[in-house]
Amino acid sequence: MGNISRHTGINIGGLNSISWIFREDVGIFSFNLATLSCLIAPKPGKSWNAIYGTPETTQLESEQQDTPAGMKYLYKLKILVPKDRSPVEKILYAITGRRLIIKSGDKNGTIRIFGTMDCPMKVTSKILKPAAMEGFNGYELLFSGEFFHPAAYYLDPYGPIPDDENQD
């Protein structure tokens, strides 16, 4: 094992990109447990689907639970999508109950993969329409999943191999 050293770079909070793909649309999925990295790419003709969330509303929570079967990692990713509208409702109807892989980027440039081929994420949603004239009108999406290891760090199948020494 090693030391957890002091972070010397910038550390900007917040997530700024979320995308999803159906598990069956993934062509390459290679998870390295030793480095917690994941090489993932869509099948030919398939792609990641972006989700726009109201700025500063996307939240990620994780929790570790010690169970008789071993450590379990629970992840919840909440996003507020503005305005009640038909195109959003159609997409939510199509993805609810389906097995999804989520790719999330933060403002530091760190990209993580939530879900695996064996244990994908699922989404639930609800519409929010406050009684008052002011306030948020739209959808609250909640992606959730339980895994036997932490969420992976994304390796771009078409990009350079990251240098662990320079990772912040």
pLDDT tens by residue, the chain, 168 residues: 576 666 666 666 677 889 999 999 999 999 999 999 999 999 999 999 999 998 888 999 999 999 998 999 999 999 999 999 999 999 999 999 999 999 999 888 889 999 999 999 999 999 998 876 577 789 999 999 999 999 999 987 666 555 444 444
Considering the domain boundaries, does residue 3 fall inside one? no
Considering the domain boundaries, does residue 168 fall inside one? no
Considering the domain boundaries, does residue 144 fall inside one? yes
Considering the domain boundaries, does residue 44 fall inside one? yes
Considering the domain boundaries, does residue 82 fall inside one? yes
Host domain of residue 127: 15-156
Provide the number of structural domains found in the chain. 1
- Rounded CA separation 97/104 (Å): 20
Total-model pTM: 0.85
**Tokens for 128?**
């929010």
Beta carbons of 153 and 110 less than 8 angstroms apart: yes
Considering the domain boundaries, does residue 45 fall inside one? yes
Which residue is it, tokens 């990251």?
162
Considering the domain boundaries, does residue 9 fall inside one? no
The angle at the Cα of 151, spanning 74 to 4, to the nearest 5 degrees, equals 105
